[in-house]
Amino acid sequence: MKVLVTGANGLLGQHLVKLLIEKKYEVAGMSRGACRLPFKNIDKFKYFDVELIDEEGIQRVIDSKKPTVIVHAGAMTQVDECEKDHNACDLANIKGTVNLIKAAESIAEHLIYVSTDFVFDGLRGNYAEEDQPGPVNYYGHTKLRAEDLVRQTSMDWAIVRTCLVYGNTFEGTRSNIITWVKENLEQNKKIKVVTDQIRTPTYVEDLAKGILLVIEKKAKGVYHISGNEILTPYQMAIKTADFFNLDKNLIEEVNASTFSQIAKRPQRTGFDISKANTELGYKPMSFSEGLERMFS
């Protein structure tokens, strides 16, 4: 089976490509810029430097590789940047999805779209797949618009929503809450971390495995795939400090109003993952296990 992964240079893209290659799939990766994956000389992998706004480029990739499955993980994900530049966010997240669907509908059989907890308003938390979305920022708005486009395609489709993904890239660096906490505490710097936001943090390898299960089971519909622990960023920071035996007294507990951010964040998200547990056999590792995997 041939699989095309958009956003292949990103954190999820890198781990998903690696997993698919290990499972003997023929994989094409598409992303902006030079390939940042350590698979350049593998027969079963081909990389394409193509942006989502490049309609003709996307068509060439799909016509040449003829993928059976497409995992659409590429997006503009910087929440504040999306709030500042609606046009760029629209082009990447909405027009890019239109371009992909248009090019793929006559060739691919299964489209898997990677979405986000930010499609919800954050008033309740522990969201199930059938709960009503209501984004509070422009990034979430564009991701929900793209979900609606995916639902209308003639291909079989699945929407995989995830939450606060953490992990390491293979090449280059990607800052996340764990690396930020670790680096600051190692330098004995005081940090402020919010305690009034709730998430179910997701280790990137778990997310990649969840998407593989969707591919293998040819699953259709919406699936929430995340970690299974409800944590605040402050609790994540304390667990990170404990894991590395760092001074957690340097961590100050604050609320979100302490920080000036352009885009509003939903206060309480996190997912009920029982559907993925039951239908896919998805079982994520604990946050502590994720930390150990990151730094082993």
pLDDT of res. 43 = 86
Asked if residue 91 is part of any domain, the answer here is yes
Residue 174 has a pLDDT of 67
Does residue 275 fall inside a structural domain? Answer: yes
pLDDT for res 154: 97
Q: Indicate whether 93 belongs to any domain.
A: yes
Global pTM? Answer: 0.96
Position 85 scores a pLDDT of 98
> How many H helices and E strands in the chain?
11, 11
CA distance 266 to 119: 9
Q: How many other CB atoms are there within 10 angstroms of residue 114's CB atom?
A: 28
Residue 118: which CATH number? 3.40.50.720
**Domain hosting residue 126, numbered range:** 2-166+201-228+270-284
Phi, psi of 70 (to 5 degrees): -120, 130
Domain total in the chain: 1
Contact 145, 151 (CB under 8 A): no
Residue 173 confidence (pLDDT): 58
Q: Identify whether 224 is part of a domain.
A: yes
User: 47 burial class (0-12, 13-18, 19+ CB within 10 angstroms)?
Assistant: buried
Does residue 95 sit within a domain?
A: yes
Q: Are 202 and 163 in contact (CB under 8 A)?
A: yes
Q: Is residue 189 part of a domain?
A: no
Q: Is residue 160 part of a domain?
A: yes
Is residue 185 assigned to a domain?
no
- For each of the chain's 296 residues, which pLDDT tens digit applies? 999 999 999 999 999 999 999 999 999 999 999 999 988 778 889 999 999 999 999 999 999 999 999 999 999 999 999 999 999 999 999 999 999 999 999 999 999 999 999 999 999 999 999 999 999 999 999 999 999 999 999 999 999 999 999 999 987 656 789 999 999 999 999 999 999 999 999 999 999 999 999 999 999 999 999 999 999 999 999 999 999 999 999 999 999 888 889 999 999 999 999 999 999 999 999 999 999 999 98
Alpha-carbon span 139 to 260, nearest angstrom: 17
Tell me the residue ranges of DSSP E strands in 104-216: 110-116, 156-162, 165-166, 191-194, 202-203
